[in-house]
Amino acid sequence: MIHVPEAINFIKIVEQTRPLVAICGFEQGDKNQYGNKFGGETRLVYNFTEAVDYLIKFPKTTAYLMRRCPEINLDVLFEKLDRTLFSWIGLSIYLLEIKSEEKLLIYQDIVASADDDYSLLPYSYRVFGNLYFATKVSIEFGGKSFEDIRPYLKNLKREDEILLNLTGLQAHYSWKTPIRYKPDVYKKELKFLKKNWLLILSRWPRFIAFLKLCFFRIFFFASKLFSKI
Q: Give just the sign of the alpha carbon dihedral 52, 54, 59, 62.
A: negative
How far is Cα 61 from Cα 111, in angstroms, rounded to an integer? 13
Indicate if the pLDDT at residue 108 is higher than 80: yes
Q: What is the CA radius of gyration of the chain?
A: 20
pLDDT tens, 26-54? 988 777 677 888 888 999 999 999 999 99
Pick from 56-60, 161-165, 208-212: least confident? 56-60
CA distance 24 to 147: 29
Give the span between the Cα atoms of 202 and 193, in whole angstroms. Answer: 14
- Provide the percentage of residues in the chain whose pLDDT is more than 90: 72
Specify the pTM.
Answer: 0.87
- pLDDT number for residue 183: 96
For residue 171, the one-letter residue type is: A
Close Cβ partners of 48 (under 8 Å, ≥ 6 residues apart): 96, 97, 100, 144, 149
